[in-house]
Amino acid sequence: METASNLVDTVRVLVVRYCRARIGRRAGTYEIADAVAGDSCREIIAGAAGAPALLTFAYDVMRGLVDDFHRTAAELPNPLSGLPGQQREIMVLRSLVGLSAADTALALGCSVQAVRLGQHRALSALRPAPA
């Protein structure tokens, strides 16, 4: 049972990081992000038994609930919001959540090379233009 508890704790940490990164870190948004994270964890645990890859399933649940939040709330300014969707997700998962390139690829259903290329392109787009 301790292994299951460790797995739940690990998933919870990643879910909270992802939700806080996508929803925001300003005053008042931590509570909203944590509520979305709690909903995500409940759905992940409820659906994990039939999921072929827990990380992919967890990512799909989190993304859906965070996207629902953004459809109903005023969008906060975010430097990543100008990036295309896949690049933004790669940056969130790699830089803010702390997933490896392999785990990010698994979550997004793409290759490790696609993750690395997407991250490179995102970082290039975020760099200020030379003066």
pLDDT at 5: 65
Domain boundaries, the chain: 1-76, 80-131
pLDDT at 1: 42
**Phi and psi dihedrals of 117, rounded to 5?**
-65, -45
Residues 41-68 as b/e (b if ≥16 CB within 10 A, e otherwise) read: bebbbeeeeeeeeebebbbbbbbebbee
Low-confidence ranges of the chain (pLDDT < 50): 1-2
pLDDT at 49: 62
The pTM of this model reads 0.54
Contact 75, 50 (CB under 8 A): no
pLDDT at 101: 92
Query: What kind of architecture, by CATH, is found in domain 80-131?
Result: Orthogonal Bundle (1.10)
Which residue reads 């906060």 in tokens? 76
Q: Which two tokens stand for residue 126?
A: 């975020």
Contact 20, 30 (CB under 8 A): yes
The residue count for the chain: 131
pLDDT at 20: 83
User: Positive or negative, the Cα torsion across 109, 70, 19, 83?
Assistant: positive
